[in-house]
Amino acid sequence: MNIFAFQAPFSLLSGRPQLASTVCGTSSSGSLISSFPGSPVVPLRYNQRASKDLISFSSPKKFSRTTVSASASKYAAERAAAVSAVGMTSTLSRKLQENFDEALVVIKDDASPVTVADFAVQALIVSRLHEQFPEDNFIAEEFVLDLRKDMALFRAVCDATGMDEEALVKIIDLCDFTGADDSRTWILDPNDGTRGFVKMRHYCIALGLMEGGVMRVGVLGCPNLPVSGIVADVGSQLGSIFHAEQGQGAYMIAEKDIDTSSVDPSVVLKGKRCNVSDVTDPSKADFCESFEARHSSHSLSTKIAEILNMNGAPYRLDSQAKYGCIARGDVSIFLRFPREGYVEKVYDSAPAVIVVEEAGGRVTDGRGQPLDFSKGRYMDNDDGIVATNGVMHDTIIEAVQAAIKQKAAV
Ligand SMILES: Nc1ncnc2c1ncn2[C@@H]1O[C@H](COP(=O)(O)OS(=O)(=O)O)[C@@H](OP(=O)(O)O)[C@H]1O
Ligand SMILES: [Mg+2]
């Protein structure tokens, strides 16, 4: 199948599903639609690019680190490479979601789905970064083992990336670094929120660079997130890319404004500065959480909201797009409480944390302790994750602890 050959109609409204159960269905044209009861179904069309743009993505112009001007920040070359690669693959993911083929989904051992987009994005980003930064290490979500489970999927990933089978396996196999704290390691979730992706909701391409155990760069590509506001409406322009570098602030750029054929910082590193909200009273704050109740306890977050007199219903959306919404002040609080036994992976949050922090926010575990991404693929954190605009953080942590105690007492 040539994934670039046609552009299926596609619509999406994100929002607060628990206000009234969100209606999801399939339109006569085959596209998934979602809406709130009582409101009209509003078809939204993505900005679409010519297919030749997509195909040229795999061969960007090359810039070595020495091409960065003397005044550029320490990780400007890395940030530009990451923004360019995420911009390119955001557009590819959109095409793959528009032309989603449910026959090409493999179920992994943890019972979660993986798609052509997950593998294609991982392969394209890692091959670009490996070419530019050959000494760097990679931790990314997907493994060759799952790619080999379905030959049709394997071939579709080759088609989408333009890579042959051998090259594809080599690149995906690069992504299981288990080394030391002082290394330079790229951390990638190529399709954060695959369940959202297959259900035509939100997902995110989340990429970060860690050096010496500290996050230095973070980039979030959110193809279905409007460039302003969380909820897509008629005429919304979709495709928000967030990027941040340690000490340099956080920025948001519309996906369509990125020159993905370049990795020159002066060309690529553009956007609007992100600042977290200035809400100081939790009862006036909006919060967000996972769409999937299996990923984060909605009952605990409801209790926390009660303690804080937060009357507004939460925004529920998949992926690290939620952290982008905190960074640009759309919402002020993000709560995440996975079920007992779930082991947090670094790519679930590392790229996003630096984006929120550089926008002035705070991200900790549910006890208020910093998150540690330096121990390899898996994190030692059983306390959930709380992200806020900073000023309310201690108050929210107190409420989290109070809610956990109340729940335990029942
Ligand atoms: N079992 C389990 N428990 C808790 N959290 C989990 C689990 N599996 C995946 N995650 C989180 O799920 C989101 C995306 O993960 P993935 O990229 O693996 O995709 S998938 O949606 O699970 O298919 C992302 O969170 P949300 O998007 O907020 O739901 C991951 O951090
Ligand atoms: Mg993923």
Q: Same CATH fold, 282-409 and 50-273? A: no
> Is 192 annotated to bind ligand?
yes
Ligand in closest contact with the CA of 342: 1
DSSP code, position 369: P
pLDDT in tens, 351-400: 999 999 999 999 999 999 999 999 999 999 999 999 999 999 999 999 99
Is the distance from CB of 227 to CB of 331 less than 8 angstroms?
A: no
Q: What is the CA(193)–ligand 1 centre distance, in A?
A: 6
pLDDT of residue 71: 61
Q: Is 194 a catalytic residue?
A: yes
Chain centroid to Cα 174, Å, comes to: 21
Give the list of residues 6+ apart from residue 333 with CB closer than 8 angstroms, or none. Answer: 282, 285, 286, 287, 288, 326, 386, 387, 388, 389, 392, 396
Is the distance from CB of 190 to CB of 117 less than 8 angstroms?
A: yes
pLDDT in tens, 140-198: 999 999 999 999 999 999 999 999 999 999 999 999 998 777 789 999 999 999 999 99
State if pTM tops 0.90: no
Q: Which two tokens stand for residue 348?
A: 């679930």
| Helix, strand, or coil (residue 410) | coil
Out of 105, 112, 139, mutate this one to test ligand 1's pocket (max ligand atoms within 8 Å of CB): namely: 112
pLDDT of residue 35: 27
CATH says 282-409 is which class?
Answer: alpha beta
Domain boundaries, the chain: 50-273, 282-409
Q: Which two tokens stand for residue 40?
A: 């009209």
Ligand 1 atom closest to Cα of 202?
27
* Domain 50-273, architecture per CATH: 2-Layer Sandwich (3.30)
ipTM of the complex: 0.94
